[in-house]
Structure 1
Amino acid sequence: MKKYLCLAGISGLLFFACDTTKPQLTQEQYDALTDEQKRSVEFALDGIEVLDDRLQLTLFASEPMMTNPTNMDIDDRGRVWITEAYNYRNQLNPKNPVKAEGDRILILEDTDGDGKADKSTVFYQGTDINAALGIAVFGNKVFVSVSPNVFVFTDENGDDVPDKKEVLFTGVGGVQHDHGMHAFTFGPDGKLYFNYGNEGKGLHYADGSPILDPLDRPVTSETAPYQEGMVFRCDPDGSNPEVLAWNFRNNYELAVDSYGRMWQSDNDDDGNRSTRINFVMDYGNYGFKDEMTKADWRTRRVNMEDSVWRQHWHLNDPGVVPNLIQNYAGSPTGILVYEGKLLPTEYQNQVIHADAGPNVIRMYPVQPSGAGFTGEVKPILDGNKRDNWFRPSDVTVAPDGSIFISDWYDPGVGGHAVGDLEKGRVYRLAPKKSKYKVEAPDYSSVESLIELVQNPNRAIHFKAFMALKEKGAEAKEALEKLYESEDSRMKARAFWLLTKLPNGNDYIQKAAADADENIRVAAVRASRINGMKDSAFLLQLAADPSDQVRREVAVAIRYEDAPDVWLKLAEGYRSGDRWYLEALGIAAEFRWDSYLPAYLAKVGQGWSNSAEAKDLIWRSRSAGTPALLEELILAENSPADHRYYRALDFQSADLKNLTLKNLLAKGQNEDQVIILRQAAFDSKKPDAQLLSLAKAKAGEIADDRDFLEIVRKYQLKDQKERLLGLVYQEENRGLANQSAGLFASLYGMGEIEQAMKNSDETKAIAAIRKFGAVDTPDMANLLSKFWKNDKASTAVRTAAMEEAKGYQSEAVLWELAKADQIPADLLPIAQKILMSSWNGNIRVLAVEKYGNSIAEGYDLIRMQSAKGNPENGKTLATSYCLTCHKVGNEGIDFGPALTQIGGKLSREGLINAIINPSEGMGFGYETQLVKFKDGKEIRCIVNSKTENDLIVKLVGSSEQTIYKLADIASITQLSESLMPAFPLSEQELVDLVSYLEGLR
Structure 2
Amino acid sequence: MTKCPNFLVVLALAAPFLLMSAAPDKPAAKGKKDKGPFVAGKPAFTPDLTAPAFDPAKVQPDHLEPSMFKVPEGLEITVWATSPQLFNPANMDIDHAGRVWVTEGVNYRRHSGRSREGDCIRVLQDTDGDGKCDRSHIFVQEKELECPLGVAVFDNVIFVSNAPNIIKYTDVNRDLKFDPAVDKREIFLSGFEQPQHDHSLHSVYAGPDGRLYFSNGNCGAQFSDKSGTTFRIGGAYLNNTYTGQKSDDGHVYVGGFTASIDDEGHNARILGFNYRNSFEGVRTSYGDMFLNDNDDPPACRVSHLIEGGSFGFFSADGKRQWRADKRPGQSIPTAEWRQEDPGIIPAGDVYGGGAPTGMCFYENGALGPKWSGLLLSCETGRNVVFGYLPKPHGAGFKLERFDFCTTNTSGVFKGSDFVGGANNLSDERQTLFRPSDVCVGPDGAVYISDWFDKRTGGHQDTDETCSGTIYRIAPKGFKPKVPTLNLDTQEGQIAALQSPATNVRHVAFARLKAAGQAAMPAVQHLRENADPYFAARAVWLLAQMGEQGLISTRSWLESDDATKRLVALRAIRAATPDVIDILSSLAADLSPMVRSEVAVALRDVPAAQSVPLLVKLSHHIDGGDRSLLEAWGIGCTGKEEAVWTALKPIGAWNDDFAHITWRLHPAAAVPELQKRAADSKLSPEQRRLALETLVFIPQAEAAKAVLALAKDTGSPIHTDIMWWLIKRSTDEWSTFGIAEELKKAGIFDPDSAKLVTIITPDGPPSSVKLEDVLKLQGNAKNGQQLVTRCVMCHQVNGQGVEFGPNLEGWGRSQPGEIIAQALIDPSKDIAHGYDGQEIVTKDGVTIHGMVLTEGDIMIVRSMGGQNQYVARSRIKSRRKLTHSMMLNATQLGLTAQDVADVVSYLRSGK
1:98 aligns with 2:114: yes
8 Å contact kept, 2:359–2:378 = yes
CA distance in 2 between partners of 1:65 and 1:365 (Å): 34
Query: How far off is 1:101 after superposition?
Result: 2.3
**SS of 2:382's equivalent?**
coil
Range 895-904 or range 393-402, more displaced: 895-904
8 Å contact kept, 1:416–1:921 = no
Alignment of 1:146-295 (within 5 A): 146-162=162-178, 163-204=183-224, 210-211=230-231, 221-223=243-245, 225-270=252-297, 272=298, 274-291=299-316, 294-295=319-320
Q: Aligned residue for 1:16? A: none
Query: How far off is 1:567 after superposition?
Result: 1.4
Query: How far off is 1:312 after superposition?
Result: 2.3
For CA contacts below 8 A with separation 6 or more, give which structure has more relative contact order: 2
- Report Cα offsets for 1:220-255 as digits up to 9, x if no partner: 643364221111111122221111111111212111
Q: Aligned residue for 2:50? A: none
CA distance in 2 between partners of 1:110 and 1:230 (Å): 36
**SS of 1:357's equivalent?**
helix
> Which of 70, 86, 107 lines up with 1:49 in the alignment?
70
> Which of 98, 108, 125 lines up with 1:78 in the alignment?
98
CA distance in 1 between partners of 2:857 and 2:199 (Å): 20
**SS of 2:559's equivalent?**
coil
CA distance in 1 between partners of 2:568 and 2:69 (Å): 42
**SS of 1:624's equivalent?**
helix
Query: How far off is 1:505 after superposition?
Result: 3.5
- Report Cα offsets for 1:334-356 as digits up to 9, x if no partner: 11111113214331112122111
8 Å contact kept, 2:63–2:452 = no
1:672 aligns with 2:718: yes
1:554 aligns with 2:599: yes
Alignment of 1:465-476 (within 5 A): 465-476=509-520
AA aligned opposite 2:125: E
8 Å contact kept, 1:933–1:968 = yes
Q: Aligned residue for 1:145? A: 161
CA distance in 2 between partners of 1:128 and 1:950 (Å): 42
CA distance in 2 between partners of 1:996 and 1:66 (Å): 44
Alignment of 1:524-923 (within 5 A): 524-561=569-606, 562-603=610-651, 607-608=652-653, 610-635=654-679, 637-640=682-685, 642-664=688-710, 669-679=715-725, 742=755, 744=756, 774-775=758-759, 805-806=761-762, 832=765
Query: How far off is 1:191 after superposition?
Result: 0.6
Query: How far off is 1:415 after superposition?
Result: 1.6
CA distance in 2 between partners of 1:205 and 1:892 (Å): 48
CA distance in 2 between partners of 1:202 and 1:929 (Å): 34
8 Å contact kept, 1:566–1:584 = yes
> Which of 351, 355, 359 lines up with 2:375 in the alignment?
351
**SS of 1:183's equivalent?**
strand
1:436 aligns with 2:452: no
Q: Aligned residue for 1:414? A: 457
> Which of 453, 461, 471 lines up with 2:505 in the alignment?
461
Query: How far off is 1:433 after superposition?
Result: 0.6
CA distance in 2 between partners of 1:358 and 1:624 (Å): 49
8 Å contact kept, 2:793–2:864 = yes
Structure 1's 969 and 507: CA in aligned 2 closer, same or farther, altered over 3 A? farther
> Which of 357, 379, 384 lines up with 1:360 in the alignment?
384
Query: How far off is 1:150 after superposition?
Result: 2.0
- Report Cα offsets for 1:421-478 as digits up to 9, x if no partner: 3222111011111122213312233233212201110232122112111211111011
- Report Cα offsets for 1:846-884 as digits up to 9, x if no partner: xxxxxxx999xx9xxx99x98676679989x98999999
Structure 1's 138 and 893: CA in aligned 2 closer, same or farther, altered over 3 A? farther
CA distance in 2 between partners of 1:523 and 1:509 (Å): 7
Query: How far off is 1:275 after superposition?
Result: 1.6
Query: How far off is 1:887 after superposition?
Result: 7.9
- Count residues in correspondence: 799
Structure 2 stretches lacking a partner, 5+ long: 1-59, 234-239, 247-251, 411-429, 891-895
Query: How far off is 1:212 after superposition?
Result: 6.7
Structure 1's 98 and 223: CA in aligned 2 closer, same or farther, altered over 3 A? same
Query: How far off is 1:660 after superposition?
Result: 1.5
AA aligned opposite 2:69: I
8 Å contact kept, 1:637–1:668 = no
Aligned-residue sequence identity (percent) comes to 31
- Report Cα offsets for 1:193-226 as digits up to 9, x if no partner: 111122235445599994379xxxx996433642
RMSD over aligned CA atoms reads: 4.7
8 Å contact kept, 1:625–1:651 = no
8 Å contact kept, 1:84–1:103 = yes
CA distance in 2 between partners of 1:588 and 1:963 (Å): 37
1:331 aligns with 2:355: yes
AA aligned opposite 2:599: A
CA distance in 1 between partners of 2:64 and 2:495 (Å): 39
> Which of 321, 324, 332 lines up with 1:308 in the alignment?
332
Range 337-346 or range 901-910, more displaced: 901-910
CA distance in 1 between partners of 2:868 and 2:711 (Å): 32
8 Å contact kept, 1:179–1:196 = yes
8 Å contact kept, 1:201–1:220 = no
Q: Aligned residue for 2:136? A: 120
AA aligned opposite 1:663: L
Structure 1's 854 and 688: CA in aligned 2 closer, same or farther, altered over 3 A? closer
Range 413-422 or range 199-208, more displaced: 199-208
CA distance in 1 between partners of 2:260 and 2:875 (Å): 36
CA distance in 1 between partners of 2:905 and 2:463 (Å): 21
Range 588-597 or range 197-206, more displaced: 197-206
Query: How far off is 1:63 after superposition?
Result: 2.3
Alignment of 1:362-441 (within 5 A): 362-385=386-409, 387-422=430-465, 423-441=467-485
CA distance in 2 between partners of 1:880 and 1:673 (Å): 28
8 Å contact kept, 1:82–1:135 = yes
Query: How far off is 1:482 after superposition?
Result: 1.2
**SS of 1:545's equivalent?**
coil
**SS of 2:716's equivalent?**
helix
Structure 1's 76 and 937: CA in aligned 2 closer, same or farther, altered over 3 A? farther
Structure 1's 208 and 128: CA in aligned 2 closer, same or farther, altered over 3 A? farther
CA distance in 2 between partners of 1:547 and 1:325 (Å): 20
AA aligned opposite 1:285: S
Structure 1's 941 and 692: CA in aligned 2 closer, same or farther, altered over 3 A? closer
CA distance in 1 between partners of 2:365 and 2:842 (Å): 64
Query: How far off is 1:363 after superposition?
Result: 1.6
8 Å contact kept, 1:144–1:183 = yes
Structure 1's 83 and 915: CA in aligned 2 closer, same or farther, altered over 3 A? farther
AA aligned opposite 2:122: L
Structure 1's 194 and 929: CA in aligned 2 closer, same or farther, altered over 3 A? farther
Query: How far off is 1:953 after superposition?
Result: 5.6
CA distance in 1 between partners of 2:876 and 2:745 (Å): 39
Q: Aligned residue for 2:417? A: none
CA distance in 2 between partners of 1:867 and 1:238 (Å): 62
Query: How far off is 1:692 after superposition?
Result: 8.5
Query: How far off is 1:281 after superposition?
Result: 0.5
Q: Aligned residue for 1:836? A: none
1:135 aligns with 2:151: yes
Range 900-909 or range 325-334, more displaced: 900-909
AA aligned opposite 1:44: E
Q: Aligned residue for 2:17? A: none
> Which of 317, 325, 328 lines up with 2:341 in the alignment?
317
8 Å contact kept, 2:129–2:480 = yes
